Structure 1
């Protein structure tokens, strides 16, 4: 893990063994990641990633374990795609004038055996404490392929209290308590239209455990036009996820039939971005 922090904002641990995703996220001395209070995914890559604050799904698949068309060996698309567990090549890490910056490349092989690359840039603004992530997914294969992406931003449920709410223009009524859905969990996915900034915004808070701070997440609405939110309080799990995503919550086949695949020709790329801050 690489410690990543600026003059202001959270202290992050970036996991160079898995996509430069975020492990610990320390806010006012408290690591708000869920750690082991997570459900068992049955995939060691995902169990490792899920206990951190942010992990990345895709770029070959998201959400559903589905058979791979044309395969006779029973192979399936993994639930969270193929990127987790791929090592990052760190190109530079800079700490200048109170700001922080980390640039890395992640070369991966999809479940179909095709190469892809994620060019990743993390920054923290030392004046505001806001963290920014910019990703470019590049099709380095010799085939035209669809590309998907989903970010899971995971917070341990033990840090919430009775006043903690989800709020955003895309949410019914503008927001509701974090304990939405059934007693032990719930999930929904909604369109997340942009504001004037070109980003959609959702907030989670306040959280007494971190001095009443609220997590504000902004996602680039042109390439991350949906927001999924998931929580699980079953058994030993105690977690809530804010999940910007490229596609609706339907099957891969339904997306393809509706013409909603984002296709990349060899050498083409697609860019994604989000920011978060603790206000």
Structure 2
């Protein structure tokens, strides 16, 4: 059964009430036409119960704008969503073409600060956010009485005489549900061991972020990235401050269970049809800590850059050379694969 508009429906009951199911929800392909975005194909997903989001096959099958009942929950960078052709993989140039949005994937052989190691120079956060997908496709079909949307793409990070890493991504949502499930498989398609750093850069913004917003993190050991950074206010938010310097915190969850979660609770989020005293919106991010044992928190309540990043990862953000020096660098053996699963839910009270 599908729960929609406050009641349960069968497939035939819903089909009897519409000419096409896309009246209620669906996946629509678009081509962007203007500015640095021109030429990109994108998929817009509508679940019919409030959640909608845009998936970019041309940028690693990452997710840009996400909305709940037409109101944004993600943060959009000043860059917009530039075509991957503008990307330069040196130093911090990633910052000029990164989209922001709900999800920017950082990897596959590098995440975090730019640097150099025995493999050569590498840029900030790696290449995968700026790599177009092959075999990009979507399906929208009934599974019994549930209507399911699945988007799939294959993104490869390769070079002659270098690494050959392949990411196969599937994003799934259902009619009537305000959630999405991300399933990733990263495999080493080469014949030598390859470094593998993976960080899921989820970005949340106004009006989900307000002065009354509270962040609930899993019980963790916590350390600031920088020595001059105090551990303070990590569970709350504040008004924009143009003088603010970004804060990055490293959390190692202490819970020994398969799935752990973090929550952002925004009592004043303006959900249409609900009063301000009804509890607003809560966003829950849940992931499998067997493959993503770390959480990076990017706290940036500046002006313009007004964003909270919650980033499940298998690394910190100091870059590949630092991970190797700390003996924490993940290596994928030839033919080895690792699976990642992350679920995002949006809930009203």
TM-score band, normalised by shorter chain: 0.7 to 0.9
Following TM superposition, by how much is the alpha carbon of 1:252 offset from its aligned partner in structure 2, in angstroms?
A: 3.5
1:38-117 → structure 2 map (5 Å cutoff)? 42-43=92-93, 46-69=95-118, 71=120, 76-96=121-141, 97-109=146-158, 113-117=162-166
Distance 1:194 1:273 in 2: 17
Which stretch shifts more, 164-173 or 22-31? 164-173
Aligned equivalent of 2:252: 191
Match of 1:205 among 265, 270, 281: 265
Alignment CA distance shift 1:179-1:91 (3 Å):
same
* Structure 2 stretches lacking a partner, 5+ long: 1-41, 80-90, 223-231, 272-279
Inter-partner Cα distance in structure 1 for 2:181 and 2:160: 29
Equivalent residues of 1:193, 1:225 under 8 A apart:
no
Task: Summarize deviations over 1:111-152 as a string: whole Å, max 9, x none.
Answer: 984221101010113353221101111112222112110011
Alpha-carbon distance, 1:83 to partner: 1.0
Work out whether residues 138 and 267 of structure 1, in 8 Å CA contact, stay in contact via their aligned partners in 2.
Answer: yes
Structure 1 segment 230-249 matched on structure 2, within 5 A: 230-249=298-317
Q: Using the alignment, how far apart are the partners of 1:57 and 1:85 within structure 2? A: 10
Query: 2 CA distance for matches of 1:253 and 1:23?
Result: 30
Aligned residue pairs, count: 271
Q: Is the 8 A contact 1:110 1:116 kept in 2?
A: no
Alignment partners' CA distance in 2, 1:6 and 1:70: 43
Q: Quick one: which of 165, 170, 176 aligns to 2:235? A: 176
Distance across 2 between alignment mates of 1:208 and 1:224? 31
What is the aligned partner in structure 2 of residue 10 from structure 1? Answer: 51
Q: What's the CA shift for 1:61?
A: 0.8
What's the offset of the Cα at 1:7? 3.8
Gaps (5+ residues) in structure 1?
none
Q: Do residues 119 (structure 1) and 168 (structure 2) align?
A: yes
- Indicate conservation of the 8 Å contact 2:75/2:205, yes or no: yes
Higher-Rg member (1/2): 2
Counterpart in 2 of 1:28? 69
Tell me the SS of whatever aligns to 1:98.
Answer: strand
Whole-angstrom distance in 2 between the partners of 1:193 and 1:98: 37
2:116–2:321: 8 Å Cα contact kept in structure 1?
no
Report the CA distance between 1:68 and its aligned residue: 2.8
1:263 is matched with 331
Residues 206 and 158 (structure 1 numbering): CA distance in 2 closer, same or farther, change over 3 Å? closer
State the partner residue of 2:226.
none
- Normalised by the size of structure 2, how large is the TM-score? 0.69
Q: Would you say the 8 A contact 2:238–2:301 is kept in 1? A: no
More moved, 57-66 vs 125-134:
125-134
Deviation at 1:50, TM superposition (A): 3.3
**Quick one: structure 1 residues 276 and 112, their matched pair in 2 at CA, closer, same or farther if it must change by over 3 Å?**
farther
Question: Is the 2:248–2:297 contact (alpha carbons within 8 Å) kept by the matching residues of 1?
Answer: yes
Residue 60 of structure 2 is matched in structure 1 by: 19
Cα 1:86/1:266, change in 2 over 3 Å: same
CA RMSD of aligned residues (A): 3.0
Q: Compare 257-266 and 137-146 and name the one that shifted more.
A: 257-266
Mapped to 2, the partners of 1:64 and 1:104 lie a distance apart of 27
